[in-house]
């Protein structure tokens, strides 16, 4: 699968591909990107990525405009990074699965509410939810990797596992170790495994 742009809600290659003023041109840019990806692999699945995972109205309006302009894709990707109630994610994934049965659904970015978000995706109607991708697993919002904590007299190398200060203030390099949040994934893998 290939994603044409990252969080392209407002377009790409501004100003020419800005959705506010140049939606038709944005659609043409998407078609070109999709055509290039499919020239390499005709069977590749194409993702379009919207940044408002809890805003069903905004996502629907965006998808409808792109469909009306002949943009052909396979998967709707949503960013689900915010910290609020996960109920609206479920409502959005459920509605999109029902409204657009021709498309798969993914959480293209998430971090908070790991279990709830995966439940929303993998329990979407008609098994339209096909995957989730954790965002910044070492740096933000309930990170599943923590900077290495030294042992046996070594210098302390990081904060308590699973904690994060202000967004983006973790180091990008060095040794990282998994923390207790990683323990969610084996069970989720079993719970949400697709049946043959």
Sorted by where each starts, the structural domains of the chain and their CATH numbers stand as 2-135 (3.20.20.80), 137-196 (no CATH)
Q: Write out pLDDT tens, residues 62-99.
A: 999 999 999 999 999 999 987 778 899 999 999 999 99
Mean confidence (pLDDT) of the chain: 88
pTM of structure: 0.87
Residue 154: pLDDT band by 50, 70, 90 thresholds? Answer: low
What pLDDT was estimated at residue 86? 87
Residue 146: pLDDT band by 50, 70, 90 thresholds? Answer: confident
Question: Does residue 32 or residue 190 have the better pLDDT?
Answer: 32
Q: Write out pLDDT tens, residues 25-38.
A: 999 999 999 999 99
Residue 80 to residues 110, 125, 188: CA-CA distances in angstroms?
5, 19, 18
Residue 172: pLDDT band by 50, 70, 90 thresholds? Answer: low
What pLDDT was estimated at residue 171? 61
Q: Write out pLDDT tens, residues 53-66.
A: 999 999 999 999 99
pLDDT at 157 exceeding the cut of 70: no
pLDDT at 121 exceeding the cut of 60: yes
Residue 136: pLDDT band by 50, 70, 90 thresholds? Answer: confident
Residue 112 to residues 12, 80, 121: CA-CA distances in angstroms?
27, 8, 14
What pLDDT was estimated at residue 101? 97
């Amino acid at each position: 699968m290939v994603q044409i742009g990252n969080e392209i809600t407002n377009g790409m290659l501004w100003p020419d591909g800005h959705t506010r003023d140049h939606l038709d041109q944005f659609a043409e840019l998407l078609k070109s990107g999709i055509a290039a990806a499919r020239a390499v692999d005709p069977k590749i699945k194409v993702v379009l990525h919207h940044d408002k995972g809890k805003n069903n109205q905004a996502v629907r309006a965006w998808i409808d405009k792109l469909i009306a302009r002949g943009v052909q894709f396979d998967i709707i990707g949503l960013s689900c990074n915010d910290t609020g109630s996960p109920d609206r994610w479920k409502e959005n994934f459920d509605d999109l699965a029902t409204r657009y049965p021709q498309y798969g659904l993914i959480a293209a970015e998430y971090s908070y509410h790991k279990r709830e978000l995966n439940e929303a995706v993998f329990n979407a109607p008609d098994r339209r939810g096909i995957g989730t991708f954790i965002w910044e697993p070492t740096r933000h919002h309930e990170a599943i990797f923590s900077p290495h904590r030294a042992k046996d007299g070594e210098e302390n190398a990081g904060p308590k596992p699973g904690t994060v200060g202000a967004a983006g203030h973790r180091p990008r390099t060095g040794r990282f170790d998994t923390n207790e949040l990683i323990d969610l994934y084996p069970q989720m893998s079993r719970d949400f495994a697709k049946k043959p």
